[in-house]
Amino acid sequence: MCLEKPGTMECSDGMKVCYVSHGLGGVAASAEPLEVHVRDGKIIRIRPVYFKGVRLYEIRAKGQTFTQPPKSLPYWISLAYKKRALSPNRVLYPLKRIDWSPENRNPQNRGKSPFVRITWDEAIDIIVKELKRIKEKYGLQAVLVQDDGHGQGGFIQTPHGVYHELFRLLGGWTMQVRNPDSWEGWYWGAKHVWGMEGLHAGLPHQDAIFDDILENCEVLIFTGCDPETTVPGFAGQIGGVICEWFKKAGIKIIAISPDCNYAAALHADKWIPIRPNTDAALYLAIAYLWIKAGTYDEKFMKTHTVGFEEFKKYVLGETDGVPKTPEWAERITGVPARTIKALAKVWAKRRTSLAAFFGGPKIRGPYSHEVARIEVIVLAMQGLGKPGRQFLRGFYFAATGKRLAPIPQYPDISGTYVGNPLARYTVTCADAPVIIPKVLVPEAILNPPITWYGTGAIGDTRESQFRRYVFPPPGHSGIKMIWNANCCYITCWNKKLIEALRSPNIEFIVAVSPWLENEAVFADIILPAQTIFEHDDLVMCTRSAISAIAYQERCIEPMGESKSDYEICRLIAEKMGIGDKWPPAEELMKRLYENTWARKKYGITWEEFKKRKLVIADHPTWEEWKKIQKEIEAREGLTWGARPGLTWFYELPEGKGLDTPTGKLEIVSTGLARHFPDDQERPPMPRWIPYGETHQESLLHPRAKKYPLLLVSNHPRWRFHAQGDDITWIREIPSAKIKGPDGYYYEPVWIHPIDAAQRGIRQGDIVKVYNERGAVLCGAYVTQRIMPGCVLVHHGSRADLISLDPVIDRGGAIDLIVPHKPTSKNTVGQVCSGILVEVEKVDIFELMKQYPEAFKRKLHPDVGLCRESWVKEVA
């Protein structure tokens, strides 16, 4: 174990060392900490922490040893994070929209009018008066609190979810519940096949999984999987290290995706381009070939699954007259039939696993639950859990295993996950008396009443998807006020919120944010929040292979008059008369520290911990790790942790033990058959559904005549969803932004040379990506890394709207033109990838003439939107 000796980190030349959280996944969890060097209240540099005196993990496989360098593995945003603290984009003072007052609210001007500076006293005064007024007139449940998702990695001061707790204590609210946007299809679909309850959004538990993958896996299919992009934001560059493990273990990597993503471009042995949202057809054709050739695990299908006979009939074409042949799939997917045949052979013959390190194009498209379910079925057909045949999910945190971490850690370290209870609202909605799924918020405001099924909360059960909800419930006035503490809806969800925010029904909007971004500019009052550098906090490193706890000392004075979210809650609690219910931050830190392994296992007191500032746990030796697994088997038989991944399930003579009604893999899902027997979009047994009542985003649909390209919108490489778009050192990277002839940094749209040439588009041109919902301006990035017929724009770019109606966005916020309807009619997932669009060159100087007001907005030459764009300095 590593304990920093007290006093070693203070230096004679006045340089101080602070530890800070790392990663932007939020939920009070961090990757292993980073070291910040501070002098005279200024951050000089950020660098990795080198682990001294720590026994690192070792995975032994194929006669080799696998581990990581003994240091933290920052990624581009975490290394440049001081730029976020110092950004010209920071909200420095409380702001009020210039034409909002309680007498004259002017909701129609939201998103148009500038802001002026006010004092904290003025801001709190307005807020408290409004809260009291709304409480009296409507009840506090008229307040919609939007405070979920990813964000900074501190433990107490900055995680999302705290404002839900504040309103719970104030006496009521309506909670926006975030959908599992990186896992939609697995959550709404795969869960109905294999269960997997817990915080895993429909993906299987990963106990000791690398033991099996590295020893036994021969072929790893990256299904829209990009460990060089989606892992770093959570866990630093362990994703890249893991890719090196695959190569060292001699595993062949086949990447199946419309784009040759960042991991595929480096590590894939083969890239199979596939049209967005057609993977279900590919899998069905593979199943067809296996059935015809008898090259699948028939015994396993009999003992471990239910409903296979019906699936076989569907695949062979006996139910709908369409045999799912490779030729049939080629026409749909764009993958050559012979490649499908070869893939089917390889998958059957060689020990093949699937890997999805979050997201990826297919899992966020229309009807994504269908492809996810079919994916589980084809995995089952080769004996899911047989050595080397697993589903490897993204490296998320140690707790992705049920009993054991994916990478060797002592269970009494990885299992003692101490969360911040205030952040629980990011994963559960159990406390909330009234909820609205995030995807339905605009509809709930504009066209109530609405009904739906399920919550979308990531920790919610399969059964919760059968529960019906109505909004507003009896006695509820509807939403009259909005409290928004994570301003990313219009860039990561859809544009319909714009209309909702400007509705006269919404009397008051408060935004809380460190940065003036996205829909913050639609608020009436904006409160300035802090970055991690501006306060003391705890750092709980649960999002990496290393377990560590650090005390984060404040690095710099708070910027402007910013306060941490925790402190803002305290301030409002006090003013509303419940200050006694919100303890000072240090008190809560101390209390939660008592439950950590540092205290319980190693006996380090709070005072000693504060002096040492960093505790890193040892890892078990390989022999110890294997012994731990044997002990689980001895105690509990064949179950999670007794074997790596799903191997325990495979070894059961009759495969029961999953969280499904039958305990088996349900190809025909018991729950769906009971609750939605006639659902054509998510039927009891999955199907290939190109388009339907809810979505028409297919080349096979008449809309494709006007919008013949399929847009892929992935988790971005150079941001974490919507975070970090303003970092100048990243904006200078070629595939991050493209500087237009007007000096503006445009979000790239990846377009194949064939499609570009057809449209007279060259590298660096400003183009519009559009459909009937609106247009988003991008810079053309002409590349071989995208399949012809498809284009790609990473989501999360800061919206910079030139026009609200029609929507024209200069900032490249691509989700402004995605559908606002959920994944299918009985679910509340979102659809944001695999959308029909067209792309055309634009003359930016012509647009400037058409929309002079919008283009008058002051911009920072390198950052783009900044404070000056929206804040009017009153003399």
Partner 1 sequence: MGKVMIIDVSKCHGCYLCQIACKDEHVDNDWSPYAKPQPDTGHFWLRVEEIERGTTPKVKVTYIPILCMHCDNAPCMSACPVNAIVKRPDGLVLIDPEKCNGCKKCIPACPYNAIYFNDKLNIAQKCTGCAHLIDGKDPLLRVPRCVDVCPFNAMVIGEEGELKELIAKAEVLKPDYGTKPRIYYLNLPKPFIAGAVYDPDIDECLEGAKVTAIDEETGKTYEAVTDEFGDFWLTNLEWNHSYTIKVEKEGYNTWTLEGVRTDKDVNLGDIPLLRKV
Place of tokens 């810079």: 779
Span from 73-81, 159-167, 429-437, 461-469 in contact with partner 1 (CB under 8 A): 73-81
Question: Which of 750, 755, 1, 90 shows the shortest CA–CA distance to 413?
Answer: 1
State which residue, 37 or 386, has the beta carbon closest to partner 1.
Answer: 37
758 is a contact residue toward partner 1 (CB under 8 A): no
Q: Which stretch binds partner 1 (CB under 8 A): 93-101, 174-182, 410-418, 732-740?
A: 732-740
Q: Does 46 bind partner 1 (CB under 8 A)?
A: yes
Contact 801, 822 (CB under 8 A): no
Is 45 a binding residue for partner 1 by CB under 8 A? The answer is: yes
- Closest to partner 1 by CB, 337 vs 450, is 337
- 273 near partner 1, rule: CB under 8 A: yes
733 touches partner 1 by CB under 8 A: yes
Q: How far is the CB of 45 from partner 1 (least distance, A)?
A: 5
Smallest gap from Cβ 415 to partner 1, in A, equals 27
Nearest residue (CB) to partner 1, 12 versus 451: 12
Kindly tell me which of 126 and 256 has the beta carbon lying closer to partner 1. Answer: 256
CB closer to partner 1, 17 vs 175: 17
Name which of 71 and 675 has its Cβ closer to partner 1: 71
Q: Which of 584, 729, 806, 840 binds partner 1 (CB under 8 A)?
A: 729
338 part of the interface to partner 1, by CB under 8 A: yes
Residue 74 engages partner 1 in binding (rule: CB under 8 A): yes
Shortest distance (Å) from residue 733 CB to partner 1: 6
**Among the listed residues 123, 665, 699, 787, the single contact to partner 1 using CB under 8 A:** 787
Minimum separation from the CB atom of position 368 to partner 1 (A): 24
| Close Cβ partners of 276 (under 8 Å, ≥ 6 residues apart) | 258, 361, 362, 365, 710, 711, 712, 790, 833, 834
Do 24 and 31 meet the contact criterion of CB atoms below 8 Å apart?
Answer: no
Supply 678's token pair.
């006639």
Please tell me the distance from the alpha carbon of residue 613 to that of residue 671, in angstroms, as a whole number. 50
| Residue 270 within binding range of partner 1, rule CB under 8 A | yes
Q: Cα separations (Å) of 593 from 49, 155, 159, 599, 830?
A: 22, 11, 17, 7, 37
- In the complex with partner 1, the residue whose CB is nearer, 732 or 805, is 732
Q: If binding is defined by CB under 8 A, does position 175 make contact with partner 1? A: no
In the complex with partner 1, the residue whose CB is nearer, 82 or 90, is 82
Could you tell me which residues are beta bridge partners of residue 259? Answer: 786
Q: What distance lies between CA 6 and its chain's CA centroid?
A: 38
Given candidates 1, 15, 92, 116, which one binds partner 1 under the rule CB under 8 A? Answer: 15
When asked if residue 784 is in the footprint of partner 1 (CB under 8 A), the reply is yes
738 near partner 1, judged by CB under 8 A: no
Q: With contacts defined by CB under 8 A, how many residues of the chain interact with partner 1?
A: 60
Looking at beta carbons only, is 240 or 365 nearer to partner 1? 240
Chain residues 562-601 in contact with partner 1, contact rule CB under 8 A:
none
Please say which residue, 39 or 706, places its beta carbon nearer to partner 1: 39
Q: Which of 815, 792, 785, 804 is nearest to 721 (CA)?
A: 815
**Angstrom distances, CA of residue 332 to CA of 108, 336, 463:** 45, 10, 33
Read off the amino acid at residue 312. K
- Looking at 461, 735, 763, 803, which residue binds partner 1 (CB under 8 A)? 735
Could you give the dihedral angle defined by the CA atoms of residues 179, 184, 189 and 190, in that order, rounded to the nearest 10 degrees?
-110
Verify binding: residue 82, partner 1, rule CB under 8 A.
yes
Query: Is residue 47 involved in binding partner 1 (CB under 8 A)?
Result: yes
Structure token pair of residue 474:
């009896």
- Cβ atoms of 21 and 154 within 8 Å: the answer is yes
What is the maximal distance between C-alpha atoms in the chain? Answer: 80
Residue with tokens 């445009």: 746
- Which of 430, 733 has the CB closer to partner 1? 733
Compute the distance between CA of residue 33 and CA of residue 547 in angstroms, rounded to an integer: 10
Are 271 and 221 in contact by the 8 Å Cβ rule? The answer is no
Q: Yes or no: say if 771 and 855 are a contact pair by the CB < 8 Å rule.
A: no
**Tokens for 26?**
């939020």
Interface segment toward partner 1; rule CB under 8 A; list 266-274, 503-511, 573-581, 799-807: 266-274
Residue 579 · residue 567 · CB < 8 Å = no
Contact present, 323 and 317 (Cβ < 8 Å): yes
Phi, psi of 748 (to 5 degrees): -70, 145
Q: How far is the CB of 797 from partner 1 (least distance, A)?
A: 18
Of 272, 284, 685, 689, which one interacts with partner 1 (CB under 8 A)? 272
Compute the distance between CA of residue 697 and CA of residue 833 in angstroms, rounded to an integer: 9
DSSP string covering 505-569: T--EEEEEESB--GGGGG-SEEEEB--GGGS-EEEEE-SSSS-EEEEE---SPPSTT-B-HHHHH
Question: Under the criterion CB under 8 A, does residue 104 sit at the interface with partner 1?
Answer: no
Among 73, 372, 550, 761, binds partner 1 (CB under 8 A): 73
Which region among 336-344, 488-496, 507-515, 608-616 touches partner 1 (by CB under 8 A)?
A: 336-344
Helix axes 279-293, 368-381, angle to 10 degrees: 30
Q: Does 743 bind partner 1 (CB under 8 A)?
A: no
56 in contact with partner 1 (CB under 8 A): no
Tell me whether the omega of the peptide bond preceding residue 472 falls within 30 degrees of 0, making it cis: yes
> Minimum Å distance from CB 78 to partner 1?
9
Q: Quick check: 69 binds partner 1 (CB under 8 A)?
A: yes
- By the rule CB under 8 A, 80 interacts with partner 1: yes
Selected binder of partner 1 within 621, 788, 841, 851 (CB under 8 A): 788
- Sheet with 219-223, edge to edge strand ranges: 270-272, 252-256, 219-223, 352-356, 391-393
The nearer residue to partner 1, 73 or 839, going by C-beta atoms, is 73
Q: Which of residues 227-246 bind partner 1 (CB under 8 A)?
A: 228, 232, 236-237, 240-241, 243-244
- Identify the residue among 423, 730, 766, 828 touching partner 1 (CB under 8 A): 730
Of 146 and 230, the one with the shorter C-beta distance to partner 1 is 230
The answer to the question of residue 805 lying near partner 1 (CB under 8 A) is: no
Cα distances (angstroms) measured from residue 115 to each of 127, 146, 277, 521, 524: 16, 21, 42, 8, 8
| Rounded Cα distance, 400 and 232, in Å | 16
Tell the burial category of 53 from Cβ atoms under 10 Å away from its Cβ (0-12, 13-18, 19+): exposed
Shortest Cβ 811–partner 1 spacing (Å): 19
Residue 237 Cβ vs partner 1, minimum distance, rounded to whole Å? 4
Least distance in Å: CB of 228 to partner 1? 6
65: contact with partner 1 by CB under 8 A: no
Q: Which tokens in the block code for residue 626?
A: 């294997």
Site track 507-546 with partner 1 (rule: CB under 8 A), x = hit: ----------------------------------------
Name residues contacting partner 1, limited to 643-702 (CB under 8 A): none
d(CA 529, CA 562): 5
Residue 779 binds partner 1, judged by CB under 8 A: no
Regarding 12 and contact with partner 1 (CB under 8 A), the answer is yes
Helix axes 279-293, 308-316, angle to 10 degrees: 100
The token pair at 859 is: 């911009």
Interacting residues toward partner 1 by CB under 8 A:
11-13, 15, 17, 37, 44-48, 69, 71, 73-76, 79-80, 82, 228, 232, 236-237, 240-241, 243-244, 260, 262, 265-266, 270-273, 336-339, 341-343, 345-346, 728-730, 732-735, 752, 783-788, 862
